[in-house]
Amino acid sequence: MKTLHDLVAEKLAREPSLLRVPLENIDRWLANGDNVPFRLEQWRQIILRAQTSPEGFQELLALLRDRSEASERLREFAPFAGVLTAAERLPVIRQCVYSH
């Protein structure tokens, strides 16, 4: 079963320019006093590496797809809201509803 993060990885692979969206989210959330600045700064560094090198980009895609506990913990604070449209999210949300 695909996750929302799988879909984000697929879309970013097609449209790397969308990396601006999570960076904008991080800036906005930190400006609004988000209470997990450490995690958001982790994400900022990961995304900046992804923008500057092919290796960093592949690492980001792998992190989004990884099912390890450490990756899942980091993704709890993922700044990728707005990368996927509502229509793109819907099939995964429906799968989740039907599986519970």
Residue with tokens 């989004």: 64
**pLDDT averages per 10-residue partition of the chain, 100 residues:** 93 98 96 89 98 98 97 94 94 68
Is the CB of residue 16 less than 8 Å from the CB of residue 57? yes
Within its chain, how far is the Cα of 95 from the centroid?
A: 19
Residue 1 has a pLDDT of: 77
Question: What pLDDT is stored for residue 7 in this prediction?
Answer: 96
User: What does the pLDDT read at residue 92?
Assistant: 86
What's the pTM?
Answer: 0.89
Tell me, what's the pLDDT at 35?
80
pLDDT of residue 97: 54
Residues contacting residue 12 through CB under 8 Å, at least 6 positions apart: 18, 19, 60, 61, 64, 83
Residue 32 to residue 39: CA distance in whole angstroms:
15
Domain count across the chain: 1
Q: Domain range holding 42? A: 4-99
Per-residue pLDDT at 100: 46
